[in-house]
Amino acid sequence: MLDQIKSLFGLSPQDAGATKIELDKNLAAAALMVHVIAADGQITPEEEVKLRAVLREHYVMGDDDASALEEAAKTAQEDAVDMYRFTSILKDQMDESERLALVEDLWEMVFADGKIHEFEDNVVWRVAELIGIQSRERMVLKQRVLARIG
Q: What string of pLDDT tens digits covers the 150 residues of the chain?
A: 445 555 555 555 444 443 445 678 999 999 999 999 999 988 999 999 999 999 999 887 888 998 899 999 999 988 888 889 999 999 999 999 999 999 999 999 999 998 889 999 999 999 999 999 999 999 999 999 999 988
Q: Are 113 and 51 in contact (CB under 8 A)?
A: no
User: What does pTM read for this prediction?
Assistant: 0.83
- Provide CB contacts within 8 A for 16, sequence distance 6+: none
Domain limits of the chain? 2-149
Compute CA distances 92 → 24, 79, 95, 132, whole Å. Answer: 10, 21, 8, 11
CATH topology of domain 2-149: TerB-like (1.10.3680)
- Provide CB contacts within 8 A for 150, sequence distance 6+: none
